[in-house]
Amino acid sequence: MAYAAELCTAPVQPATDSQLDFLSDLNKKRARDGQVRANRIEASAWIEFYLRKRHREALKKLRPEAGDIVQLEDSGGIRHEEVVSIGIDGRIYFRGGHGASAWPDRVTLLSRRTDNSKRARVLKKAALNDASARLNVRHWSLAKQAELRRFEVTAPLTQGDIDQLRNVIDRAQDEKSIQKLLEERPQILAALVGRKPSYVVPRPQMAGIGGARVPDFLIADVDSSGINWVLIELETPRSGVTLKNDNILEEHARKGVSQVEEWREWIQNNLYQARLSHKDGGLGLVDIRPQSKGLVLVGRRALLADNAREVRFAYAEKQRIEVHTYDYLLATLEGAMSFSGPSGLNPYLIQPWRDGDGEQPSTNSEEWLGT
């Protein structure tokens, strides 16, 4: 400090208030040292020393191992994490990657990897769900394509498919006959997304996995951003969709929306299980997200009340669940099949929700004008 000018070095700066406050939390005596207070670089060195000391002591006390479940609390809230490794500097790294890690003094041990109690299993599930939510779900790969190959639809939509669907809808007393046809001819629903490869999953089996409701169909396609899932619920075509004297959905439409919401909640609470490979006991729903778009098909155009557009639009805008009649389905299929341009420009395809969307539902104008 005394020879700074002669040695042509930068003049010594006093420690900042934030440095001294931080150092005081680590060691009050050192923070009062006049030499430390007068030298910003020395204050920084002591902060580093005491932090390393704190980390070493916490690591010695914690003795973390891969597979342990810990709790981390910060400005992002409370999270459960599974330990996967400990760095040479003592930092603990968690399952899911993307830089998920923390110093040992910031975590609390909840259960050891060898603990198989009910509480430990619940904590493990929570940690796996948090890790799954952190994974990169926008990168498509051959491995992901192989996982979904059993659901891939390669048959093209034909006019005969549409004509038979129209006939079944016109005669249907409820949704059962419609569901049967759509299961037999998955190319019908695959045409709603259109981009290749496309997938249709009929009634995904979740027996013994939380007792959740089973959606009628999951459909998906792939674009440059990865895979895009849509949750589809079928209800009776003999519905007016909304109540004429009240701006709410009719019973069957409400049921469809409720089922989509319950399925989303199940995905949220079982995200790891939902995405886990089928061969490992999971559902194999590659990169599915809790807020995947929802589509409820219910009622007929001729039965719609005057308030149908306004009521349904609110669900599409706020909850990302579109409620449409079976006439919308038929009109969309006709339009999608007749379109001759690139699939990315086809206005009849269901457009995926992107992260950050939420201003307007991604629909074409026709479907809000009477269908």
Residue 222 backbone dihedrals phi, psi, to 5 degrees: -125, 135
Centre a 10 Å sphere on the Cβ of residue 111 and count the other Cβ atoms it contains. Answer: 21
Average pLDDT over residues 62-80: 88
Angstrom distances, CA of residue 143 to CA of 147, 205, 270, 368:
6, 22, 22, 39
One domain for residues 154 and 28: no
Q: Distance between CA 163 and CA 333 in Å, rounded? A: 11
Provide the residue range defining the domain that includes 110. Answer: 69-133
Residue where one domain finishes, among candidates 6, 35, 61: 61
pLDDT surpassing 70 at residue 137:
no
One domain for residues 88 and 168: no
Average pLDDT over residues 273-288: 90
Average pLDDT over residues 175-202: 93
pLDDT the model gives residue 234: 96
Q: Distance between CA 67 and CA 65 in Å, rounded? A: 6
Question: 295 pairs with which residues across the strands?
Answer: 232, 322
Please, which pLDDT band fits residue 83 given cuts at 50, 70 and 90? Answer: very high
pLDDT the model gives residue 336: 87
pLDDT surpassing 70 at residue 364:
no
Whether residue 283 contacts residue 273, with contact meaning beta carbons closer than 8 Å, is answered with yes
176: amino acid identity, one letter: K
One domain for residues 40 and 144: no
One domain for residues 172 and 298: yes
One domain for residues 126 and 262: no
| More confident site: 11 or 196 | 196
Q: Rank 24-38, 163-177, 199-213 by mean pLDDT and report only the highest.
A: 163-177
Residue 11 lies in a domain: no
Residues in the chain: 371
Those residues whose C-beta lies under 8 Å from the C-beta of residue 206, and which sit 6 or more positions away, are 212, 214, 266, 283
Residue 46 lies in a domain: yes
pLDDT the model gives residue 207: 47
One domain for residues 252 and 363: yes
One domain for residues 156 and 230: yes
Torsion 118-123-127-130 (CA) sign: positive
Residue 5 lies in a domain: no
pTM summary value: 0.76
One domain for residues 47 and 87: no
One domain for residues 115 and 48: no
Average pLDDT over residues 167-194: 94
Residue 107 lies in a domain: yes
Average pLDDT over residues 183-195: 92
Angstrom distances, CA of residue 131 to CA of 98, 127, 167:
10, 6, 47
One domain for residues 42 and 97: no
Please, which pLDDT band fits residue 9 given cuts at 50, 70 and 90? Answer: low
Average pLDDT over residues 137-146: 84
Structure tokens at 349: 């395809």
pLDDT the model gives residue 347: 79
One domain for residues 95 and 148: no
pLDDT the model gives residue 152: 95
Whether residue 70 contacts residue 64, with contact meaning beta carbons closer than 8 Å, is answered with yes
Residue (of 169, 165, 172, 168) closest to 188 by Cα position: 165
Question: 297 pairs with which residues across the strands?
Answer: 234, 324
What average pLDDT does the chain have? 85
Residue where one domain finishes, among candidates 133, 154, 184: 133
Residue 8 lies in a domain: no
Q: Distance between CA 197 and CA 70 in Å, rounded? A: 40
Question: 222 pairs with which residues across the strands?
Answer: 227
One domain for residues 195 and 173: yes
Structure tokens at 159: 């006019």
Residue 47 lies in a domain: yes
Residue where one domain finishes, among candidates 85, 107, 133: 133
Q: Distance between CA 41 and CA 169 in Å, rounded? A: 77
Residue 157 lies in a domain: yes
User: Is the backbone peptide bond immediately before 361 cis, with ω within 30 degrees of 0?
Assistant: no
Apex CA 134: angle with CA 64 and CA 95, to 5°?
25
Q: Into how many domains does the chain fold?
A: 3
pLDDT surpassing 90 at residue 245:
no
Residue 305 lies in a domain: yes
Q: Rank 8-17, 115-124, 221-230 by mean pLDDT and report only the highest.
A: 115-124
Centre a 10 Å sphere on the Cβ of residue 144 and count the other Cβ atoms it contains. Answer: 19
Give 55-100 as a DSSP string: HHHHHHHH---TT-EEEEEETTEEEEEEEEEE-TTS-EEETT-TT-
| More confident site: 331 or 313 | 331
The percent of residues above 70 in pLDDT, for the chain, comes to 88
Whether residue 348 contacts residue 332, with contact meaning beta carbons closer than 8 Å, is answered with yes
Residue (of 371, 353, 255, 257) closest to 314 by Cα position: 257
Instruction: Name the H helices within 135-235.
Output: 142-147, 159-171, 176-184, 187-190
pLDDT surpassing 90 at residue 130:
no
